Structure 1
Amino acid sequence: MPTSLVILAAGQGTRMKSDQPKVLHQVAGAPLLHHAMKAGASLEPERTVVVAGHGAEAVEASARDYDPDVIVVRQEEQLGTAHAVDQARDALADVEGDVIVLYGDTPFIRPDTLDAMVTARQEHSVVVLGFEAKDPGRYGRLVMQGTSLERIVEFKDATDAERTITFCNSGVICADAREMFDLITAVGKQNASEEYYLTDIVGLARARELSVTAVACREAETLGVNSRSDLAAAEAAFQARTRRDALEDGITMQAPETVYFSFDTIIGRDTLIEPNVVFGPGVSVETGAHIRAFSHLEGCHVSRGAIVGPYARLRPGTELSEDVRIGNFVEVKNAIIDEGAKVNHLTYIGDADIGSKTNIGAGTITCNYDGVFKHRTEIGANAFIGSDTMLVAPVKVGDEAMTATGSVVTEDVPAGALALARTKQVNKPEFARRFMEKLRAAKRNLTGGTG
């Protein structure tokens, strides 16, 4: 049965104290909204609808960055969760199957939890996601009778006995799309807030003798973000979970608490990650790579057996082939480095292609920017680039070619050739002594002989 998603992302989030929409604040290098969309994408939804309100244009742009096919609708007035879902009615009018309502500020719902809800929907008309709360506080309570969800009771309306219930409402709901919108039509706003609550469809469904149940998930999955403190807690929760998953997947981390992952980081088994490594968005690392301490990776791919760092920076567009060596204080950007090549020390490689088994000497710079345009440097296989070489792009260095230390290379170097691009050394006898004596005498005159 096909499933569609409605993701509520209209709230302003006043407790965030921000001009930015709440769902665009980031955890692990991605907006909260992207986390919710990623979780829902595991269901291969027929259609995804994001309901935007505050900062709608920015929310829509962000949603399309993640999924160009997403449908974004507007909730012009904030009249409650049922009213928000109702804005997706037209967008889903021709869709068969189920709809799941998610929240753009609740980033940690796991795909297997959504699978469990879809499975439960085969036997029940409405499925609500609940969790056992350590401290139920003011959460809505799920009143169960066996596997049947009798009602959802808001804390302020609960009896003393109902307040002892620890099974709480997450707000996530799954139902047949047509049935959900039919139930929403009957939702009223006879409550203290005078808002249309999505949770009211449970009581309406029961009144129609429809089957309603609740599926349980871990409380950590339901963590919502409403403040900067919540945002920090969400970041910590994401990192803790991702580190734990990485260790269980066969990745070695010497100090896991110092390693930071992005929401989309992919690491192969038997990779060794040393302390204080940061993975920004868009990083994939193959099996058996070694990421050494204090390295920062973003938008790059690291192949099997490669070694990166320590203190290396890989920027977007970097592709490292198998057994490449990127050493200390090396920065690589938008470059393809072929198998077995070495860039070991104090070097910048930008907008470049480096051939297999080529050695790049310390202090080398590809001078790729002329102030207006970027230009590319191409270096062949088995080449040797001497230390402190400046390669002024666009320039090509052929296979098995060499550059002399300290050269400024502005013309192509043929295969097998040696490029010498520096002035001839001239030694001036005794000049250094005379020059220093002159400087010292000048200093004595300025200080009255006390210097």
Structure 2
Amino acid sequence: MTTPLAAIVLAAGQGTRMKSDLHKVLHPVAGRPMLLHLLASVGELGPERTVVVAGARREQVEAAVQPLGVAVALQAEQLGTGHAVAQAEGALAGFEGDVLILYGDVPLVGADTMRRMLDRLHAEDEPAAVVLGFRPADPGAYGRVIAGADGRIAKMVEFKDATTDERAETLCNSGLMAVRSRDLFPLLARVGNDNAAGEYYLPDIVQLAAADGRSSAVIETEAAEVAGVNSRAELAAVEADWQRRRRMRAMAEGATLIAPETVWFSHDTELGRDVTVEPNVVFGPGVRVADGVTIHAFSHLEGASVATGANVGPYARLRPGAVVGEGARVGNFVEMKKAVLGRGAKANHLTYLGDAEVGEGANIGAGTITCNYDGFFKYGTKIGAGAFIGSNSALVAPVSIGPGAIVGAGSVVTADVEPDSLAVARGKQEARPGWAKRFRDMMSSRKAAAKG
């Protein structure tokens, strides 16, 4: 029988080093707030309850997690991590099971690592708590974990309170823990603040459990997985690491990245097999790319779907609602928004397709614009299968171009065009022989007279 699970996520820090009006844990990594990255990983474990402990700017956190059904507890005073966890006790009243303690500004901890912590909690020796440790390149001011070869913890100590020998230890405390609910809050009630910072430290529950004759254990993970964010520079470093790992995954799954370090993914980007991505491509949230697609350099995609064998870019922009059909072509300096480009259709150059539906095999000439906005409302344009839209045409919505129709270059189309017909809507060309020479002669004479 699976033990019920709850998660407590600490997010009450002031975040002053971010110098931002946005709560620290809501700053995005790969287009998604850090806190939501973490909650998504927790969600994979199916928790019975999740509580976020917030302080300043609590209303921002509440707005972000409300759709997820996550409770928010208040830590009005910043009295340490032990005090912060204790604020979740009310939200977990009546809960009996395991509790994961996580940090909203440590967003990249994966569900597999959380499972390992819980598995260790239920090992034969039944530790009172499981601590997630790591070995950073520079241990700096992290708290240290003194443990034996079997992972049993002899002592945990904050850097401020550590001796010289203890500071020489390289195994550091990430702050993340797994504890049984029946142990957690009774132990927290006994934590004091007789330390250098005058705070109630969460790690002290390990020593208190040891005093009761119950040992705790540590498991390790890579430093990158528990990297915390306290500044814009650290946010950039976490983003860079996330992107590096996502690029490696994309290539392992069958995509070709010509210059991997220049491709930017979002948290939910989906790439099929045999996709080729050229340099300097950005995937915003909500992009799905099917097999065999080529995304040429300097393209930006967001909220878009690209079907098998399509070709996009270079310098293309696909905005939310853009759908590129199988084998279709979106060329250089083409922008699509809430528009469908049908199977085999082409928009090769310098075109805007907004609120439009383009049928199979249609050809959209260079400089074509769907005029979808009158300053107040948006309107749709429908272009039938096999239609040909001449260069530099403006299709003033709402308007429909029938299948097989041709729109002559330079037309401003304001009425529907019948299938298989020709529509030409432009001023009549007029020729005046010799006019240009007479004009130049006249103006040259005036200029000479003015100089004289």
**TM superposition shift of 1:8:** 1.4
1:294 equivalent to 2:294? Answer: no
Q: TM-score, structure 2 length as denominator? A: 0.93
Q: Which amino acid aligns with 1:6?
A: I
Give the equivalent residue in structure 1 for 2:259: 255
Aligned counterparts, 1:234-245, within 5 A = 234-245=238-249
Please report how far the alpha carbon of residue 348 of structure 1 lies from its aligned counterpart in structure 2 after TM superposition.
Answer: 0.4
Distance in 1 (CA, whole Å) between partners of 2:43 and 2:336 is 32
SS in 2 for 1:411: coil
Matched, 1:208 2:212: yes
Match of 2:61 among 55, 59, 69: 59
Q: Distance in 2 between matches of 1:376 and 1:210?
A: 69
Q: In structure 1, how many angstroms separate the alpha carbons of the residues matched to 2:362 and 2:429?
A: 28
Cα distance per residue 1:76-116 (max 9 Å; x no partner):
22222122222222222243422212111112212221221
Cα separation, 2, equivalents of 1:214 and 1:249? 33
Cα deviation per residue 1:126-168 (whole Å; 9 max; x = unaligned)?
2111112222122111111323123311122223332221111
- Read off the aligned partner of 2:97 and give its amino acid letter: G
Q: Which moved more, 1:395-404 or 1:269-278?
A: 395-404
For 2:189 and 2:288, locate their aligned partners in 1 and report how far apart those are by CA, in whole Å. 46
Question: Equivalent residues in 2 for 1:142-221 (5 A)?
Answer: 142-145=145-148, 146-221=150-225
What is the aligned partner in structure 1 of residue 427 from structure 2?
423
Correspondence for 2:385 among 375, 378, 381: 381
The alpha carbon displacement at 1:392 in A equals 0.9
Aligned length: 446
1:76 and 2:76 correspond: yes
Q: Greater CA deviation, 364-373 or 42-51?
A: 42-51
* Identical amino acids, percent of aligned pairs: 54
Q: Report if the CA contact (8 A) 2:160-2:196 is conserved.
A: no
The amino acid that maps onto 2:147 is M
What residue is the counterpart of 1:15 in the other structure?
17
- Secondary structure (helix, strand or coil) at the match of 2:433 reads coil
Three-state SS of the structure 2 residue aligned to 1:37 is: helix
Residues 183/436 of structure 1: CA separation in 2 closer, same or farther (3 Å cut)? farther
Name the aligned partner's letter for residue 362 of structure 1.
A
1:211 deviates by: 4.3
CA contact (8 A) 1:11 1:21 kept: no
Instruction: Provide the aligned C-alpha RMSD in A.
Output: 1.9
Q: Which runs of 5+ in 2 are unaligned?
A: none
Q: Partner residue of 2:44? A: 42
- Secondary structure of residue in 1 paired with 2:113: helix
* C-alpha separation in 2, matches of 1:49 and 1:39: 14
CA shift in 2, pair 1:398/1:208, >3 Å: farther
Which secondary structure state, in structure 2, belongs to the residue aligned with residue 317 of structure 1? coil
Partner-residue secondary structure (3-state), 2:68: coil
Q: Which residue of 2 aligns with 1:138?
A: 141
Normalised to the residue count of structure 1, the TM-score between the two structures is 0.93
| Of 389, 402, 405, the match for 1:401 | 405
Deviations 1:213-271 (A, max 9, x none): 11211011111111222122222222222222222222111111111112222222221
Runs of 5+ unmatched residues, structure 1: none
Determine if contact 1:289/1:305 at 8 Å carries over to the other structure.
yes
Paired residue secondary structure (2:133): strand
Q: Whole-Å Cα distance in 2 between the matches of residues 363 and 343 of structure 1?
A: 10
Amino acid aligned to 2:6: S
How do 1:336-355 and structure 2 match up within 5 A?
A: 336-355=340-359
SS of match in other structure, 1:230:
helix
